[in-house]
Amino acid sequence: MADSHPKSIDPRPKRRRDKDNPYTIFTTGINTATPHYYLSFVDSNNMERCVEIDKPLFDAFDRFELEDISFMHKVDKHYERTEQTEASLNKRAVKPQESVEEIVSQRIEVDRLHQAIAQLPEKQRRRLVLYYFGEFTYEQIADMEGCKHPAVMKSISSALKKLKKYLSGEVTI
């Protein structure tokens, strides 16, 4: 165990360190045939110590430092630096809080849509529901009903036109 800090340290840039990281790694003679690898730390008596270590252990500490730096960058990137009040969180929310009027209005529109769908002819209603709510393709619906997919496309297209007219108030289905 060497107690003095070697003088000719390698040219690696100084890395940012976590406050809880108690050690420093460095090399000497990096451009020579016999480089030396060191681990420096402060012991329990508050004395700085420097220990020569082998290359695999140095590489393990180096990898840990890089992972630690990566983690610190992720924390910095996602660390909240603004005031956190209910109003500021609601303002930045992905989906802003809706008013009671908006919720009621949307519910009325959904009810009208369901009423309009219920008034469609049975075949159009079934195909429309399978396509939009069951998430089946035209081909899958055609296979279920034993017909060609253009017939399913035409039926759904016709149903959509009727729904559009009904919801715009032009006509009843």
**pLDDT for 95-104, tens place per residue?**
667 788 988 9
What local confidence, expressed as pLDDT, does residue 5 receive? 47
Query: How far is it, in rounded angstroms, from Cα 37 to Cα 9?
Result: 10
The answer to whether the CB of 139 falls within 8 A of the CB of 89 is no
pTM: 0.44
Neighbours of 105 (CB within 10 A): 12
What local confidence, expressed as pLDDT, does residue 144 receive? 92
Q: With cut-offs at 50, 70 and 90, classify the pLDDT of residue 1.
A: very low
Of 10, 11, 17, 5, nearest to 61 (Cα)? 17
Least confident of 7-21, 25-39, 45-59, 99-113: 7-21
Per the DSSP assignment, residues forming a β-bridge with 25 are 39
What is the maximum span of the chain, computed from C-alpha positions, in angstroms?
A: 93
